[in-house]
Amino acid sequence: IQKFCEDTGLLSDRSNIICISDEAHRTQVNIGSKLKKNASGVYTTFGFAKYLRDSFPNATYCGFTGTPIDETVAVFGPVVDSYTMKESSDDGITVRIAYEPRLARVILSDEQAKEIEKYYEKCVEEGANPEQVEASKRAMSTMSAILGHPERIKKLAADMVAHYEALCAEKPDVVQKAMIVCSDRKNAFQLLKEIETIRPDWRIPRKAEDESKLTREQLDQLVALPKINLVATQGQNDEKELYDTCGTKEYRNMLDKQFKNNDSNFKIAIVVDMWITGFDVPSLTVMYIDKPLQKHTLIQTISRVNRVFDGKDKGLVVDYIGIKNDMMAAVKKYGGPQENPVDELNVSLSIFRNYLSMIDDLLSSFDATLFYHGKPLDRLNCLNDAAEYVQTSKE
């Protein structure tokens, strides 16, 4: 579509032309005008979609998209037919998406949980006027402070490492590519450094985890890289370490190619905005979400893990920020109101097990012998002592 511009003009006024647009929610719906200024003065520009329609004014336009935003319907008209996420997974075109909540493992206090909930309430309607935009910025500033708290980043790193290693242990023969979505580049960089502290071996460049299993031809296709890498653009005001870690456009293109290679040692990508939409890696198995996402961006992001790959029975979305309600709303909007293509892994049971595991950690030094071997009154008293022990430990 980028080949169409104002100079293209009318190519044909025939009415028996059919124009099929993929990803009909980006440049394909960009028909609006913008005012721009240069040395000659102010002028108006239009989007590629407008020039396309100027070239074929009487054509029939058909758009394909997994996330039909309002602009899609406004430009292409109402939905003619839909193929839902559930139908796709039932047909074996994609795998189902499993959801696992782990917010409780990284939140520092009830107050922070309430702040996150408050932020999502403000995001129900995105800012339109200047006052709403400013309110949104203040809310995001508060959210960034919460998500970037050093103690929270440490908890997040430790839990992600443990979770990922357990996942790999379950299916050691399946390539386990993972993506971690962070709220901003600073938090992403801090998370990378905390994970390096826990697993320094993950930051040692190698071509593959076990190069002896690969042929010379396979090794020639690989670049020696750490197991985990940050994928983000450089900022002019970045501190030197962050700036160097982000690297150049050529470096990011190389990371793109290597992450898509199943033999590469590069298994875990930490991202902010890059790679969360329109980036297909079939072996991507798990998506760790630690960034507020809404609407079509959210559904596009979690759909990165539903591609079919040998040995992969599902894609897993691990939630560290509380996206469940937004995710389910997006699934209903874009996947069909009568279906739920997301396996919630018995969400209530999963949440219960998370809390139970945390209590287990708190009770690691508590003597529970009487609960298992004592008389009924002894067991009741042991429960009371355990509750008091946990409360004291929290304080």
Q: Give per-residue pLDDT as tens, 171-191.
A: 888 888 999 999 888 999 999
Domain chopping of the chain, boundaries: 18-81, 86-107+149-353, 109-148, 363-394
Mean pLDDT, all residues of the chain = 82
Give the mean model confidence (pLDDT) for residues 330-346: 58
Residue 338: strand pairing partners: none
Q: Does domain 86-107+149-353 have CATH number 3.30.70.1230?
A: no
pLDDT of 313 over the 90 cut: no
Which range, of 79-93, 106-120, 225-239, averages the lowest pLDDT?
Answer: 106-120
Can you read off the two tokens belonging to residue 368? 């529970």
| pLDDT at residue 350 is higher than 80 | no
Top pLDDT among 348 and 37 is at 37
Exposed (0-12), middle (13-18) or buried (19+): which is 127, by Cβ within 10 Å? middle
Phi, psi of 172 (to 5 degrees): -65, -20
Candidate from 24-33, 75-84, 148-157, 243-252 with smallest mean pLDDT: 24-33
pLDDT at residue 35 in the model: 79
Q: For 201, which DSSP code?
A: G
pLDDT (0 to 100) of residue 5: 84
User: What integer is the mean pLDDT of 9-16?
Assistant: 93
278-293 as b/e: b if 16+ CB within 10 A: ebebbbbbbbbbbbbb
Q: Confidence band (pLDDT; 50, 70, 90) for 57?
A: very high
pTM of the model: 0.72
- Which tokens go with 183? 């709220």
pLDDT attached to residue 158: 94
**What confidence category does residue 127 fall into, taking pLDDT thresholds of 50, 70 and 90?**
very low
Q: Is the dihedral of CA 284, 288, 289, 290 positive or negative?
A: negative
Q: What is the pLDDT, as a whole number, of residue 128? A: 46
Instruction: Give the containing element (helix H, strand E) for 387.
Output: helix 376-394
Number of residues assigned to the chain: 395
Q: What is the structure's pLDDT at 16? A: 95
Separation CA 103–CA 147 (nearest Å): 11
Q: What DSSP string describes 305-341?
A: G-B--TT--EEEEEESS--HHHHHHHHHHHH-TT---
Distance from C-alpha of 229 to C-alpha of 225, rounded to nearest angstrom? 8
Q: Are 256 and 236 in contact (CB under 8 A)?
A: no
pLDDT at residue 362, rounded to an integer: 79
